[in-house]
Amino acid sequence: MDEASHTKRTGKTLSTENAWENLLDKYSIIEKIHEHGQFHITADMIREYREPRLMAKWEATESLPKCLRDAKINILPVSRSEYVMSDFNLYEQLPDSCTGAPQYVEVPQYESIDPLNITSESNAINVLTISGILDTFLESHNTVETFNGRMGTGDFQFTVNRYRASSEPLKISVRRAQLEIDGGFENNDSVIIMEAKNVLHPDFHIRQLYYPYRLWKTKIHKPIRLVFSQYSNLIFRLFEYEFVNPEDYSSIRLLKQKEYSLQDTRITWLDLKRLYAKARIETTDNNEDNHHVPFIQANNFNTVITLLERLGSADWTDGADSAQIAVFMEFDPRQSNYYSAAGEYLGLFDRSTRNLTKLSELGRQVLAMPYKQRQLTFVRQMLKHEIFYRLVGGLLQSKEISSLEIVQEIMNELSICSSPSTARRRASTVINWMRWIRSLPSGK
């Protein structure tokens, strides 16, 4: 059933997941990839079920529709109207955060820039430039932005590795596809291409650096430097990459990484111990006592913080529905709901209006807090829940995170989950939040 027929019959558009399930079935895409190594699909073929712009751009592995992710199928644009699909690996895993506190950088005073309210990639790039962070990271001077926005790729070819080690790399031809560059810079030494993100994902789509690299390599004589930037929770994370072989998409290599903050970020174990001593348990998260607030299933706590910051932006002051959040977070709506519920669990979000998430009064207060106070407030809100109170108590004694089995035992004791499979998934989230807490202290 195409999108028009489905919409006419049900009044609803197909989800991206369902649309891709239909496309995989109609064109036997997986079978053809196994037989021929690749499958070319046009924008018109995709449009039978949903608009291509909603169907062919996922900036992280976790954003992929499940049917493609499970089959290890990815998609690349090769022109303005055609894509190639195969079992190729298009994403690069980001390394863990640097050890130690981020480097503190003072921002010059500008009335039009609020360092506590950086809500877009363009804002983040402006602050990177005026603060001198970009120059510091590049170990250069006088770096200025000279280009950005949408442009054509030109024509080029490259090879890309496939997931199956036994398979030969695929050769791909690109002919005047479209790309978008968040930030293009130049200084005396080089031209810099930057991809900037205000949403934290564990990996990124290499295409975001590779296509611009291949375009500008034909335009200039200076060396090109490639920077991937993440900004969230008052911290900039910068990664510099290179392509060892310019004609090999999979030859990407990390050169260095650094973290910078606009504030003092030092938190000590003593800070956590003092916070713990004042904490009071308010709920056991028992299903019967706390059924109106779901137990957490949002694995990445930094992503909860990212959503908090986005909800504080001017265009979301009245809140956002699940579809808006899904687009921003580059998740499917179900995953997005997990993160909305996680913010409610901590008292940071208000979801009392049907299908709408907005900041609570506490959430608004947290956004105005400096880094240290903000992080300790997050921990304080966790400690109101008995499971975190008990686990953090153990962490402060041993500086070690409890095992998944111990977390599940506590959840069972507190009657948090009745289903063993659900309990294990939620216990995994608890472990990840405990890792976030464990990453905070940098001193005694």
Written as six digits, the tokens of 115 are 């360092």
Q: Give pLDDT tens digits along the chain (444 positions).
A: 444 444 434 334 788 899 999 999 999 999 999 999 999 999 999 999 999 988 988 889 988 999 999 999 999 999 999 999 999 999 999 998 766 678 888 877 788 877 767 878 888 999 999 899 999 999 999 999 999 999 999 999 999 999 876 678 999 999 999 999 999 999 999 999 999 998 888 899 999 999 999 999 999 999 999 999 999 888 999 999 999 999 999 999 999 999 999 888 889 999 999 999 999 999 999 866 555 788 999 999 999 999 999 999 888 988 999 889 888 887 777 788 999 999 999 999 999 887 899 999 999 999 999 899 999 999 999 999 999 999 999 999 999 999 999 999 999 999 998 788 888 889 999 999 999 999 999 756
Written as six digits, the tokens of 313 are 């932006």
Is the domain of 227 the same as that of 278? Answer: no
Is the domain of 339 the same as that of 254? Answer: no
Q: Which residues contact 176 (CB under 8 A, 6 or more apart)?
A: 79, 80, 152, 153, 154, 155
Is the domain of 290 the same as that of 432? Answer: yes
Q: Give me the domain span that covers residue 62.
A: 3-87
Task: Count the domains in the chain.
Answer: 3
Is the domain of 252 the same as that of 299? Answer: no
Which of 261, 282, 313 corresponds to the end of one domain? Answer: 261
Is the domain of 118 the same as that of 246? Answer: yes
Is the domain of 108 the same as that of 147? Answer: yes
Is the domain of 318 the same as that of 348? Answer: yes
pTM confidence score: 0.85
Is the domain of 351 the same as that of 224? Answer: no
Which of 29, 64, 87 corresponds to the end of one domain? Answer: 87
Is the domain of 22 the same as that of 146? Answer: no
324: left (phi over 0), alpha (psi -120 to 50) or beta: alpha
Give the separation between CA 86 and CA 29, rounded to whole angstroms. Answer: 9
Is the domain of 131 the same as that of 226? Answer: yes
Query: CA 38, 93, 218 angle in degrees (round to 5)?
Result: 65
Is the domain of 176 the same as that of 283? Answer: no
Which of 20, 53, 87 corresponds to the end of one domain? Answer: 87
Give the separation between CA 151 and CA 265, rounded to whole angstroms. Answer: 39
Is the domain of 368 the same as that of 427? Answer: yes
